[in-house]
Structure 1
């Protein structure tokens, strides 16, 4: 089963034909002061299992009529929480946190109900499911987060598409004029559009048997406020398996650093690097800390094309390990298995997800593949030959002494 194998092919069915309204909500405290403003358009594409053990997809838009029951302004010991309720036991919630200079959405939680016979008439499991995605992108305090262009949030069985977003937490009953735009808004002036009508026949690039060049090295950074909290330098090449005319064709393609935008998040024990190659491929690297070492725990890849997109995830990795405060370095080509039909090749990797100072890499810890064993081998061989020569000379000298003794006798 695709879902069991974490190989989710999701159709964006009829997004452009759907009339998606933006919902607008406010959350107020006990004194009736507004603490959270939110306005956005959201489409959800959900993959579910049918009674005939097949995988189906439905696309559902958040309506303009919603409620905020369960939302909280928070306080000194409680973080703000936005809960948007709609439909038949559907909800979208966002958990916030802050420090003196920035605030962030720590997690987006989407709850949906497959017992809704209108949306899931043939669902095998009639129950409520929860999809969680950790985000953590910092937003300057006293600013409204704005993103007119599409932002895609992916989990195993749900793809969420957001646009025309305006979000403000810790509002203190004022409408803030200062806006903090997402990276897509900052890099283009083209007016946003409703997502295109797409169907999913295959989720990887057009198959080709032509070899591709070694990928260019990209330099990427993640910021926490105004400070660099994660640095990475690497070349990336993806290799996907496609079924074409009954034959499996492996298709390699490179991540182009010249058109790739890097975002992510950092905290004390986890870090995320998200690379978005011109809205065609998103590669996410999740790092964590264990026993004073950091390592790469998860890689998530989303590939888009004209007919749809697909997502692959491997969350059971233990790669790129180095001491916290140092950087990991590996010049050799490495292979990361994301799924049975998608691999990531990395080249000339240097990464530091924790303890970055002055936006420079700290002491590098080389990977095992980079360690040069030529000198030790040569030295060992030379020492071995020297020992043999000494032993031969010793036995020859001893034999001569014995021969001299016999002649004297």
Structure 2
């Protein structure tokens, strides 16, 4: 009977990757003091008798056989514990910590452990010596599920994590409150950023190399007339994580071939087209008509994880199907085509991503088998004039150094027009300026290029703009006693995604190697109509310790998941953009730090795809260097003669003689009084 139940568990939950939520309570008497509700599915790898590795799905079912114990945070204590035992075969321990953080005290899950007993039913064909023993894995020094103590933490989104090496977990529908439980129920929730409704994320990083191969050209034909009813030009890059035969995880990256086979249907109000390739792989799109225009309603991807696209895959012949429901506005009028050469990224799931480029589509009212008049996406139209102005400061110092004797006025006159002209006041105080004052000609070293990213809203227009140079400093272990720090920049071509809501917005940057994901969460400080300011509220960083970045790591490919909440950084009025060229450091924990420079961000109130009025950070407020306060001589040059030089030639020696005589007389007087002689200066 248990085998049948386990099989049902695998079939039902192994496909969906989720388990039903179970409620857990720690009580003191009749009062609940620690409260949690979530679904948890484990995937445990174990050695089998044939020297292969098996994988067993385990799930907490709840019911009368489950016992929940723990410790309440009484008398001001900042630790709460929950211990769950499911029929003496499966269990977990959760440790919650509360930190003193003004104006709120923040809690989070600081330690998590799961344990399991090896049985023949749960771990078939395992090594004989394992049966009856207990296995476990735990993670500590984590900061999962952060919230203020007066709130509960709520996150309906699926969260996947690897504990150490043999246990993967899938957590869903998380609702917890380990402190300040009132009336035996959850308080008002603080919802995670991942629960924000996703919108089609796009990004246009500067100088991004086009993927290969070039775009393919496809069409659908109306069977009744023999004429083309859909015209499509598109290039696509697929990036999909999959399980290998050794139960590890790899990422497959491949492209849509130009000879993919198009299939689909043409209609007056809805059109579907699908491109099939490489045996059981396809990408499709559905287009709908609305008010004389057409939109893309849904993208769909289907694939089977097997070679050659997925080398070394654990072949199950299971067809995976994922969809992406878009909220784009109208693409073009009926009878016209839509073109967008810029790259657009679509994260179907945490494991499957699609990047489209060189797109041109006309799904309705095709005439004479040719594209109609183009409607071009604004990402192809908008240009950034900023970089064209950067050479200007390098030419100004060369002009001011021509009058060689006048070295002091040179830097003074240069600094005054440069600061307001470029509004980059940190350059006045950074290292290039001393080089300018001593080196001719002035050749500053350019800083690493900042990334330029944006998120698109439901109307098809940018709703979040972000330019920044982001540096990560991450400590890792090269031995049990020694650590190193990996320091690198977020690449400018990192894939951007995110969401825009009334009170919150988010930007997520993903890049390789290391499966890096950096999420910035923004929030308005007050609800309407008083939502006058926004802040950077939270940061979340996820990555794997890829040896190509973390040289010598003793935990290669270890998954790290860090969160930092309640930051209240970058405070700016809604509708304006925050600008700060100075360095802003954010310490997530003792092992991770993020540095922002040359930052310009606007997460709310974007109009016309452009930044609003700038609000400059206090670090960038200009301070006048001492040299600029020294007045330049202006009286003598007005006459154009050399009278000043003659007067100086007479007055300077005369003053020296007078000072010398006075000093000699004072010296003689001091000696006469028995004073000690002057020391040499």
TM-score (norm 2): 0.34
Structure 2 stretches of 5 or more lacking a match? 1-42, 44-158, 164-208, 385-446, 543-560, 576-604, 609-681
Paired residues in the alignment total 286
Contact 2:332 2:375 in 1 (8 A): yes
Compared with structure 1, are the counterparts of its residues 231 and 129 closer, same or farther at alpha carbon in structure 2 (3 Å cutoff)? Answer: closer
Residues 194-213 of structure 1 correspond to what in structure 2 (within 5 A)? none
Query: Does 2:381 align with 1:146?
Result: no
Query: Does 2:522 align with 1:312?
Result: no
1:362 is aligned to: none
Contact 1:314 1:337 in 2 (8 A): yes
1:178 is aligned to: 373
1:389 is aligned to: none
Compared with structure 1, are the counterparts of its residues 348 and 245 closer, same or farther at alpha carbon in structure 2 (3 Å cutoff)? Answer: same
Encode CA deviations 1:64-90: one digit per residue, 9 max, x unaligned.
Answer: 222233x122344xx222211111110
1:300 is aligned to: 508
Contact 2:220 2:231 in 1 (8 A): yes
Deviation at 1:299, TM superposition (A): 5.0
SS state at 1:82 partner: strand
1:87 is aligned to: 278
In 2: Cα distance, 1:121 partner to 1:101 partner: 46
Compared with structure 1, are the counterparts of its residues 58 and 39 closer, same or farther at alpha carbon in structure 2 (3 Å cutoff)? Answer: same
Deviation at 1:311, TM superposition (A): 4.8
Encode CA deviations 1:115-157: one digit per residue, 9 max, x unaligned.
Answer: x333335323522223333444441214322233444333422
1:124 is aligned to: 314
Compared with structure 1, are the counterparts of its residues 309 and 105 closer, same or farther at alpha carbon in structure 2 (3 Å cutoff)? Answer: farther
In 2: Cα distance, 1:300 partner to 1:129 partner: 25
1:347 is aligned to: 570
In 1: Cα distance, 2:504 partner to 2:241 partner: 28
Compared with structure 1, are the counterparts of its residues 134 and 326 closer, same or farther at alpha carbon in structure 2 (3 Å cutoff)? Answer: farther
In 2: Cα distance, 1:249 partner to 1:106 partner: 45
Query: Does 2:280 align with 1:57?
Result: no
Deviation at 1:24, TM superposition (A): 2.0
Residues 12-91 of structure 1 correspond to what in structure 2 (within 5 A)? 20=213, 22-32=215-225, 33-69=227-263, 71-76=264-269, 79-91=270-282
1:400 is aligned to: none
Query: Does 2:380 align with 1:224?
Result: no
In 2: Cα distance, 1:286 partner to 1:182 partner: 20
Compared with structure 1, are the counterparts of its residues 285 and 128 closer, same or farther at alpha carbon in structure 2 (3 Å cutoff)? Answer: same
Contact 1:25 1:38 in 2 (8 A): yes
Deviation at 1:18, TM superposition (A): 9.2
In 1: Cα distance, 2:309 partner to 2:607 partner: 52
In 1: Cα distance, 2:357 partner to 2:536 partner: 38
In 2: Cα distance, 1:17 partner to 1:252 partner: 23
Deviation at 1:159, TM superposition (A): 3.5
SS state at 2:324 partner: strand
In 1: Cα distance, 2:217 partner to 2:457 partner: 30
Contact 1:47 1:58 in 2 (8 A): yes
Structure 1 stretches of 5 or more lacking a match? 8-15, 190-211, 255-277, 289-293, 360-409
Contact 1:81 1:93 in 2 (8 A): yes
In 1: Cα distance, 2:274 partner to 2:241 partner: 23
Larger deviation: 325-334 or 129-138? 325-334
SS state at 1:224 partner: coil
When you count strand as a share of all residues, which structure comes out higher? 1
Residues 371-382 of structure 1 correspond to what in structure 2 (within 5 A)? none
In 2: Cα distance, 1:60 partner to 1:219 partner: 25
2:160 is aligned to: 4
Deviation at 1:170, TM superposition (A): 1.7
1:384 is aligned to: none
In 2: Cα distance, 1:6 partner to 1:236 partner: 31
2:351 is aligned to: 157
Contact 2:455 2:497 in 1 (8 A): no
In 2: Cα distance, 1:94 partner to 1:250 partner: 41
In 2: Cα distance, 1:236 partner to 1:28 partner: 47
In 2: Cα distance, 1:68 partner to 1:129 partner: 20
Compared with structure 1, are the counterparts of its residues 187 and 74 closer, same or farther at alpha carbon in structure 2 (3 Å cutoff)? Answer: same
In 1: Cα distance, 2:304 partner to 2:503 partner: 36
In 2: Cα distance, 1:121 partner to 1:154 partner: 22
In 2: Cα distance, 1:314 partner to 1:251 partner: 18
Over the aligned positions, Cα root-mean-square deviation in angstroms equals 5.0
In 1: Cα distance, 2:364 partner to 2:215 partner: 21
SS state at 2:160 partner: coil
In 1: Cα distance, 2:259 partner to 2:210 partner: 20
1:242 is aligned to: 474
Deviation at 1:158, TM superposition (A): 2.8
Encode CA deviations 1:242-261: one digit per residue, 9 max, x unaligned.
Answer: 3567446586979xxxxxxx
1:390 is aligned to: none
